[in-house]
Structure formats: C-alpha cells, structure tokens
Structure 1
C-alpha cells in the first residue's frame, strides 16, 4: 500500500467505535468491566481510534426488557457489568467461586440467569471484603460513601425497600413506604443497616472498576463517550424520593407522561409512559438536579450524548389516563436558559445532541446556539430526498457533527441493506458512490463515506466493522422484549481487522 504521511497531532478529525460493555465476550454471561474491556481498549488504540462510545451504564430490569434507556436510577451503575475476574484479582473471590459462576462465553445474554449469578457472586465478594478488612479498600469504600452520599443514600434505601417488597415498583408499596413517611423510613433504615451497606458496596465496586477502565483508556488516548437517557422510568428512585421534580399528584400517580406524536411510522404515536419533568420547579433552584446528574456523567465520560435532545426545546406530553399518544400537546422544554445555567456551572459543555427524527427549527437553533455537535446517520441518507437529505455527506455544511453508519436503534448496515432497502435505494446508493453496491461491499462503502466526510468524528458500530447481519442488531425500537442481548464472538478481534481499520483511519486523515 502507498505510504500516507500521518496527520499532525492536533488534527481535529477522528474516529471511534460504538460497542456497549454488555456486548463484549466474557465467561460470565454478559460483557463486563474485566479483561475483555481492556482488550477492547487495546484494539481501539492499535486501530488508531480515538473514541469508544457505550450505551447508558445505569441499572436495567426485566420489567422494561433490560433496556439501558429505562432505568430506575440516573446515578447508579449496572451491577451486571461488574467483572468477577477483577474481584478475583482483588482477592475478593476464590478460584472456586469463579469456576462456579461461569455462563456461556458468547451467544445472546441470558439476562435473568446472569442477574441471579452476579447477585450471588457479589454477595460472596462482600462477605470476603468484610472478613479480610483490606484497609486501603475499606478507606476507599468509606470515601465513596461520603462523596456519593447525595444520591447513594436514597438509592440504597430504595433498593433495600424494593427487595423487602419482593421487587414491586415503589408506587405499589404500602402507603407509608410509597409516600416516604419519615418515621417509617428511619425505622426501616435502622433495622436494615447491613443490607443497605451491602447495596452501597455493590455500587462502590461498579464505580471502582469503571474508573480504572476509564483511566486505562484515557492513558492510551482513547476517550469515552457516554449516553444520557432524557427520561427516567416511573419506578425510579428519584421519582420516589424527589417527586417534586416530576408531574405527579399527591399520591405519587403520574398526571402527564412522555410520548412521541403520531408520524409516518406510528399512526397512534409512541406512548413511552415515563413521568414528565416539572420544569417550573426545577428552574427555581437553577436546575440543581440536572447539574448533579450532568456533573456525575462528566466524571464518568469524556463526552456525553444527550438522548432525545429535542425535548430540551419542546416535548410531547399526554395525560396519564390516555391509551395512546394521539391526544397530546407540545410543551416548551427548559430551552436556552437551561444550557446557559449549565455553562455557568460546568464550563464548556462536552455534549453531543441526538437530533435525529423530525427536528424543528427551534431545536436546531438551540443546538447551534451552544455549539453542540449533532448526529448524521448514513442509513437515513438514500431515500428519494437523497440530493437534499441532511444525512447525505455533501449536505453536511459544517464539520460539527458525529457521523454514523447506524446507531444502536438501527439494523446493522448489512441487515439494513439486505432487509430494509428496495431496488430504488440500492440504485441511488450505487449511483452516489459510482460503483455497484452489494452485500459484500456495502459495509466498506458506508464506512468509507463516513470517514471521507467532513464530520469531525466518525463513529462506527462494531457490528458494521465485523460485517455482521441483522442477527447482531442491538435494538428494535417499539419491540418490548428480545433486545440488547447481542454479544460478539470470543475471538472477534483479529489482526486483519486492526490493520484494515487502521489503514482506513489513516487514509481519511482521522
């Protein structure tokens, strides 16, 4: 291959990979923060990538299909992503413990089995932590409890009460617990201190492992891009503990819920059902709740994608009594006042605006006002409106975008080409790139278009780099079960993949 002179160090163009932690291979049923994650960082560094984008790391649960976008906490970490091998390295598990909790290394995640196993293994690790009293770790745990007190206290009590009520949602607890009666909660805390402490310890271990991984990645010049879901699940600790921030009645019932209006794809819209924020109340203390949430995410990641960005400008809300999203109303979001306040409190805003779908001029104006990069998705670019599509590279207009072949909500590129394009789309694609596009070359062509574009960052899902079909899809929006379970094969990182990706990255000056 012809030699390409490398770009200078301050080159603004870069590339990265979208791959959720759960999708890494691991001997414990789900990708985790252990050896597989470190190997993935090494792969990114060798391939000249600069970014690793992950999906939200908050807890997931069966009732919402284990979706990372519908969590019961905006601050806590997902215990299923904790690595047993890292616990073993810290002398918190024995080898026999590891051998006893092994689950299939590849194949779809069995969330229910994995959740039970991780809970058991963490319980064993906690007992060893208490028995061994490693002073350094004890001090770190105590420091964690002090510094994270603002969210950890509520989360640990809420989780413990939830266990006491056999997993029931907080709005189905008995009255005094549901309405957070002070005396009832204080009495419960006193009687369940050991369990509450263990819940805090599980969170400590999650963050201990995450920050070690982040440090390792950053030392290799790999920056981490996180993902912030806009809404919280109704059964979330913050909705229970800080209900004044949400539109609820005095009994904790939702009065209005989040939704998306009817469109070309859904004639009745999408009724999401999450409680809507009480923006008037949040404004009174300068959006303190959001400040804390964003500060936490700034510690976790180098860049943060704001999911459903349009809702900061305006959002669709529907009365909680409705059965579909047709009879809703547009409401103004927190708008420029919110981002001005965050700029004052947090400094430069390291955010990416998820501005996909039907976007109005005021949403675009808000994104531009605060110089937030938007998103472009090439799978959306080849319809009849190709010439003027906002997703087609010749229409980008500025470099302040992240370009993707597809996102976690799209089919893989090969799956899309096989199952979601017709003869006309294929014809337009071939004409646009000046070559016949087929199943063998569609991935390299779309990745090449991403890399060749003026977008400052190009992010490619790992499934597209591996040229995987629809069986590797992460999520089908609107489908309640069977999502989020894809995992890469054990030896998915191959030397030829590294060499190819590195060569592409260098060729396009990224």
Structure 2
C-alpha cells in the first residue's frame, strides 16, 4: 500500500511517526499487505512541501517526529539524556558525519540568513570557505548541536517504527528522487559535482518533455550533475546516498530512472521545458555502483514517460523491476505495456501513483467508450470502482502490486496527492481518524487472498 507519513491521520495537519503509524502497520498486517511504500522522508522546503524538493538528500524530515513518543522515550531535551542515550547519540553522529555535518552547517546558516537560498549568501559562505563558515557558526554552536540532536531523534523514531513493521511482516519501500534541489546541503557542500556557473547558478535545469501530465513538459529546476566529476571517485556521493537509503528502507524505488541513461536538460533561462534536449547520463557505470551498494533485489526502476530501448536494456541488464500503471493502460493501443496482458513478473503494478488522480477520480473523468475499454479487461465488469481496478492490479502477474491508500478508502479527486506541473494544495492530503479500520482490513484481505497474494 502506498501512503506517505504526512497522510497518516493525526491531531495536526500532518501525520507523524507516532501511534497512527503503528496502527497503520497493524492495519497492513491484518489486511494481508506485506509492503508499505512511502515518499521520500527528506526535509522539505516549507513553501512547497514537496518531498521531491528537499533541503537534503540524506537528512530526515524532523517535522515527522512524534512529540508524544519523543517525551515518552525521554528524547525531548539533549541535556537530559541518560548516559546510554548520550553514547548512542554520539556514536550515531560519528557514523553519519559525512552528510550530517554539512547539513547542520547549511541548516544553521540558512536560518541565520532568514531562509534565503545559499546562492544568495555572501560569497565566502556561498563558497563554503572553511574560515568564514567556522566564524559564522561559532555563535550558533547550541543551535548546530540541536539540529544534530533532532536528526538523531528522527532516526531513533524511524528505526523503532521500521523494527515494529518488520516484526509484523511488513517491509518499508522508499523513494529516491534522481535529482536534488539547488537550495540544499548537497549542492552547497559539493558544488564541484554539479553544473553551476561562477555565481552558483545552474547552467541547465532538470525536467521532462511534453507528456501525459503537461503539454509544455515539466520544468523541475534541479541543477544537473557533472557526471565526469562524479566518476572521478567512483561515484562516491551516489554510493553514500544509496547506502543511506538502504539504512532507512528495505526496498528503494529510483525515481525517474530514465535519467540515468539520458536526462532532459532545459536552459536555465528557457520559459518552458519544451526547449530542452536529451543529454546522455552515466548509465551502467553508475547503476553498477548503486546495485552493488544497495544489494541485489532491493531496487525498483520508475521507468515511466519517454522510455527508449536503451533505458529498457539498462534496467534489464541489472535485473531491476519496472513499473506498470493501470490508469495508463486503456488508450486503445493493444501494444500498451501497461495493459495487464503485457505485464511481466519482473515488475511492480500500480492502480495509480502519487502523481495520478485517485482511481475514482480518474474513472469519473472517463467517457463511456474509455470505460468500456477498461471493463473489457475486468473479470467482473459489474464490480464498482475503485475495487475493480484494485482487484485487477492484484490479479496481475507482476511480482508486487501496490495500491494507493486513497483507492483502498474509495476516495475521489479531493484526495489526490499531487498534480505534476502545478502549485497549490499538493502534498496536503491526510486520511481521517479511524479510516483504516478492521472492516476495511478484512475487505482488503479478501481480495489479497482471492488473487493468491497472501504470503
């Protein structure tokens, strides 16, 4: 089941790693679901809230910390830690120092500059001059230590939740955005690994050409990597990144996998993504590093969009499952690879993703001709949506079937998580209290059992 932590029920406007997260694990176990897929857990830019536009590719989103669990486990104040806790904190900081120290420096300096992006900081700080950074941080030592502590508290709460999920037979499935935000600790600390000009501005930015989601393409505005510079140490930054993700998750989806073969480069001053071009990426050189660091059978390729033979060959060369999305299947093309009859075992099937409308919202917008195309693939054309598509996903020969929680709850367009290429209410949907009840768990389990997916 696909559900981000922020979408869990909660007393506030966002879910957290508290009691509701544990209740959801219990719901999954009762429903016969063995995988919980989430969106990235990284700290977001407050204005956008997008987990794909993060302040760090390595850090945790401390907004997800449960204040109740924090107090209950004695993690409310670094000054009151027990000796055992203090030792664990110090050990964790040492083990994570390669990303933690740049992040806490960046976060503290960003606060000092009223959250202004780092390219606008004074040149010495922008360029991370060691003396200038040390002088600027000297009066902020307590804040820097608190930022370290907050990251440790997040790690403790996440590890505890993941251990609980494992005890209930539930794997955690995470998501790795292929690009990182310009205004992030990653780019600030490693400018030489990105294509930036002398003023730290991107020369080209990321995006994708016109597609199903956007007529002018999508302009994501991430800086592009300098692959030659990254290759000099054997893609060490990427090895550390995927290792960090595997510390958090049992399975990891590589978002925009297509970008490893070639990425859409949009001139920084172009008005839309239409003006971009495909530029070759590192391909097998990088993917071999990722597979080696992550371990076999742990990575999934998000291979949606404009997919070439070269992209397919790259995925198959390393044995990564691709994605099938049922909402993309029924366009009248019998060769459509998303059609259930075209699914391969080495794939992951979805009713829809976090970027799609909910299944009920999608169905409501189809005309009768399109609906008949869908019904022709159903075992029971009379079964109502969204359960008809949920059952179809679970009947697929794909090894893993993933259903967004909004579909399980039978929700419409009002519960859509994200509409690509738009701003506004994205990433804000939250399930109501009590939504994941025993009756719903029994209904899901019946379908899981009937389709032979009960482990």
TM-score for both structures, normalised by structure 1: 0.86
Question: Would the alpha carbon gap of residues 263 and 450 (structure 1) be closer, same or farther in structure 2, given more than 3 Å must change?
Answer: closer
The Cα offsets for residues 276-310 of structure 1, whole Å up to 9 and x where unpaired, read as 00001111111000000000001100000110000
Given that 1:160 and 1:196 are in contact with CA atoms closer than 8 Å, whether structure 2 keeps it comes out as yes
Residue of 322, 330, 333 corresponding to 1:374? 322
Q: Give the distance between the partners of 2:285 and 2:227, measured in 1 at CA.
A: 11
Equivalent residue for 1:253, pick from 188, 201, 204: 201
Equivalenced residue count is 453
Distance 1:192-1:501 versus aligned 2 partners, 3 A rule = same
SS of alignment partner, residue 220 of structure 2: strand
Whole-angstrom distance in 2 between the partners of 1:314 and 1:436: 41
Structure 1 residue 349 displacement after superposition: 5.1
1:393 maps to 2:315: no
Q: Tell me, what secondary structure is at the counterpart of 2:264? A: strand
Q: State how far apart, in whole Å, the 1-side matches of 2:43 and 2:342 are.
A: 39
User: Match for 1:68 among 51, 72, 83?
Assistant: 51
CA distance 1:269–1:302, change in 2 (3 Å): same
Give 1:407's aligned residue. Answer: 353
Select which of 397, 409, 414 maps to 1:454: 397
User: 1:7 corresponds to which residue?
Assistant: none
SS of residue in 2 equivalent to 1:72: coil
The 5-angstrom pairing of residues 26-41 of structure 1 reads 26-41=10-25
Displacement after TM superposition at 1:219 (Å):
1.4
Q: Contact conserved, 2:205 with 2:223, CA < 8 A, in 1?
A: yes
Alpha-carbon distance, 1:435 to partner: 4.9
Matches within 5 A, 1:134-173: 134-173=82-121
User: Which has the higher mean CA deviation after the structures are superposed, 477-486 or 132-141?
Assistant: 132-141
Find the residue that maps to 2:199 and give its secondary structure. coil
Matched, 1:86 2:69: yes
SS at match of 1:388: coil
Q: Secondary structure at the match of 1:475?
A: coil
Q: 1:450 to 1:267 in 2, by over 3 A?
A: closer
Going from structure 1 to structure 2, the CA distance change for 1:402 and 1:408 (only over 3 Å counts) comes to same
8 Å contact from structure 1 (residues 54, 224) kept in 2: yes
TM-score normalised by structure 2 residue count: 0.96
**Which residue is 2:34 aligned to?**
50
Report the alpha carbon displacement of residue 345 of structure 1 after superposing the two structures with TM.
4.2
Aligned with 2:190 (options 224, 239, 242): 242
1:328 equivalent in alignment to 2:311 = no
- Answer yes or no: is the 8 Å Cα contact 1:179–1:251 preserved in 2: no
**Separation (CA, whole Å) in 2 of partners of 1:293 and 1:83:** 25
CA distance in 2, matches of 1:203, 1:354: 28
Residue 320 of structure 1 deviates from its aligned partner by 1.5
Deviation at 1:264, TM superposition (A): 6.0
Instruction: Give how far 1:321 is off.
Output: 2.2
Task: For 1:125-204, list aligned pairs within 5 A.
Answer: 125-126=76-77, 129-130=78-79, 132-204=80-152
- Taking structure 1 as reference, are residues 78 and 423 closer, same or farther at Cα in structure 2, changes over 3 Å only? same
**Alignment RMSD, CA only?**
1.5
CA distance in 2, matches of 1:267, 1:90: 50
Change (3 A) 1:347 1:53: closer
Partner of 2:435: 492
Choose the corresponding residue for 1:302, options 244, 250, 263.
250
Deviation at 1:360, TM superposition (A): 0.9
Distance apart, 1:250 and its partner CA: 2.5
Which 4+ runs in 1 deviate beyond 6 A? Answer: none
Q: Which has the higher contact order (CA 8 A, sep 6+)?
A: 1
Q: Cα distance, 1:369 vs. partner?
A: 0.7
Could you tell me which residue of structure 1 aligns to residue 368 of structure 2? 423
Alignment counterpart, residue 476 of structure 1, candidates 401, 419, 440: 419
Shift of 1:331: 0.8
